[in-house]
Amino acid sequence: MDLILKNGFVVDSANNFEGVADVLIDKGKIVKCAPDIEESADKIIDCSGRTVIPGLCDMHVHFRDPGQTHKEDIITGCEAAAAGGVTAVACMPNTTPPVDNAEVVMYILNKARKAKAKVYPIGCITKGMKGEELCDYEELRKAGCVAVSDDGKPVLNARIMARAMVKAHYAGLRVISHCEDPDIIAGGIMNSGAVSKELGVKGMHRMSEDTQTAREIVMAGDLEMPIHIAHVSTATSMLLVRLGARYGTMVTSETCPHYFTLTDEKLRLRDADYRMNPPLRTEDDVTAITEAVCDGTIDCIVTDHAPHTAEEKADFEKAPNGVVGLETSLAATLTELYHRGKISLRRIVKLMCVNPRRILNIPGGSFSEGEPADIAIFDPNEEWIVDPDKLHSKSHNTCFKGMKLKGRVKMTILNGNVVYEDK
């Protein structure tokens, strides 16, 4: 046998197991997870005092590759993923060129062969992300895509979006919707509210997100087709998702750690590292998102990892939206939810390891025999200060900079091999 992880506190939500156990690995696969494994192995790693979970799956990242590799590329993005305990990522298609054909998909997969995380491309809903003509979903799926989205741009034409839901479903792909009405946004750069008014900058009204979320849920219900709502940030959108699910609509949803941790009060600093789309909202929205994460309404915690250079982020009002998050997502979730007694480790594993893989229909997420040996090992009690200069991403635009987080990834294993170790 290749490797045994000894004496770790194993949390395996998929198998309803939580307790001290060993994990036996051979040829990149899980052989056994049980207390006091007696088999011998080439290597033994003592995990005493540490928590052992399946590797995280982040189903919403932007790696800027191809076309904008000065911000990030597949290799550096996966370096950041590994440092955050993330072993699988799904990359959004708003690259240059967009991921709307098999050739771009193959470029991504070929480059990802040497990466420290498994990369799953998401294809475009429409060609060129122009919202006009549907892509060939069969072609995208056969090339290796696991979902389709025009993330970064909404599909404004409801007829086209309805056709996409149907055609993508029968091609075996989930539609991920970026819910935004640009006519309502109209150049806004932060949440529309008291803070934006005091700063004298144009706000992004929550109606932009809420109206599009309502449209997608109504269409999914009427068509009896699944829809996944990306990066939910408002209390109203969360209510719409909850109501849709209650009445049988096949709707799943995600949010990001910054939406249950930070508010638009951070924008008083006039620092573009706190600008993303959708924007940081109000305390009431944070409360609603937190409740939805804890009660099971929200299915996944993702990062919407969106790297931008320091030069691009230097001007508060002109900077592009987006923040990096792969290296802080687990720690921020542990700090805000687990250590405050709002959520269990088992629920975190469901949100960050199991559900994203289930929605995208990709392997992993448990310690069952034969599953990939993709594993995150962390110390839930280690405190650390987020230093942007020490991040593994090419870009350092984190909204958690300077914050003390509790919970640190100590080791990440991919296919049975250690790809990250906190020294």
pLDDT for the residue numbered 423: 82
Pairing of strands 3-12, 17-26: antiparallel
Token pair belonging to 220: 């999914």
Q: Which of 57, 89, 54 is nearest to 72 (CA)?
A: 89
Would 367 be classed as within a structural domain?
Answer: no
Q: Do 159 and 232 sit in the same domain of this protein?
A: yes
Give the CATH number of the domain where residue 13 resides: 2.30.40.10
Q: Do 266 and 410 sit in the same domain of this protein?
A: no
Q: Which of 323, 343, 329 is nearest to 376 (CA)?
A: 329
Q: Do 47 and 61 sit in the same domain of this protein?
A: no
DSSP-assigned letters across all residues of 354-366? IHHHHHHT-S-SS
pLDDT for the residue numbered 133: 98
Q: Do 46 and 78 sit in the same domain of this protein?
A: no
End position of a domain, from candidates 360, 388, 409: 360
Residue 300: enclosing H or E segment and its boundaries? Answer: strand 300-301
Helix (H, G, I), strand (E, B) or coil at 371: coil
Angle (deg, nearest 10), helices 74-83 and 102-112:
50
Residues 179 and 282: their CA atoms lie apart, in Å, by: 18
Identify the segments of the chain with pLDDT beneath 50.
none
pLDDT for the residue numbered 33: 97
Q: Do 81 and 40 sit in the same domain of this protein?
A: no
- Count CB atoms within 10 A of the CB of residue 342: 14
End position of a domain, from candidates 313, 334, 360: 360
Residues 42 and 290: their CA atoms lie apart, in Å, by: 44
End position of a domain, from candidates 360, 380, 401: 360
Among all chains, which residue has been given the structure tokens 């921020």? 332
Q: Which of 51, 144, 58 is nearest to 367 (CA)?
A: 51
Cα angle at 304 between 294 and 203, to 5 degrees? 90
Q: Do 92 and 72 sit in the same domain of this protein?
A: yes
Cα→Cα distances 118→87, 207, 372, Å: 6, 36, 11
Q: Which domain holds residue 44?
A: 3-51+372-421
Residues 30 and 23: their CA atoms lie apart, in Å, by: 7
Residues 408 and 46: their CA atoms lie apart, in Å, by: 17
Instruction: Decide: 185 and 211 in contact? Cβ < 8 Å.
Output: no
Residues 371 and 368: their CA atoms lie apart, in Å, by: 6
Q: Do 76 and 44 sit in the same domain of this protein?
A: no
- List 148's β-bridge partners, or say none: 123, 175
Among all chains, which residue has been given the structure tokens 């030069």? 311
Residues 28 and 5: their CA atoms lie apart, in Å, by: 13
212 Cβ contact partners less than 8 Å away, ≥ 6 residues apart: 154, 177, 179, 180, 181
Q: Of the residues 150, 273, 299, 304, which is catalytic?
A: 304
CA 329, 277, 309, 273 torsion: positive or negative? Answer: negative
Provide Rg for the chain, Cα atoms: 20
- Count CB atoms within 10 A of the CB of residue 46: 11
Q: Do 381 and 259 sit in the same domain of this protein?
A: no
Instruction: Decide: 154 and 180 in contact? Cβ < 8 Å.
Output: yes
DSSP-assigned letters across all residues of 33-97? EETT-----SEEEE-TT-EEEEPEEEEEE---TTT-TTT--HHHHHHHHHHTTEEEEEE-S-SSS
Q: Give the total number of structural domains in the chain.
A: 2
Q: Do 16 and 59 sit in the same domain of this protein?
A: no
Q: pLDDT of 216-245, one tens digit each?
A: 999 999 999 999 999 999 999 999 999 999
Would 366 be classed as within a structural domain?
Answer: no
Q: Do 349 and 402 sit in the same domain of this protein?
A: no
Q: Which of 57, 45, 42, 38 is nearest to 8 (CA)?
A: 45
pLDDT for the residue numbered 113: 97
Give the CATH number of the domain where residue 237 resides: 3.20.20.140
DSSP-assigned letters across all residues of 186-206? TT--EESSHHHHHHT--EE-T
Q: Is 58 a catalytic residue?
A: no
Helix (H, G, I), strand (E, B) or coil at 84: coil
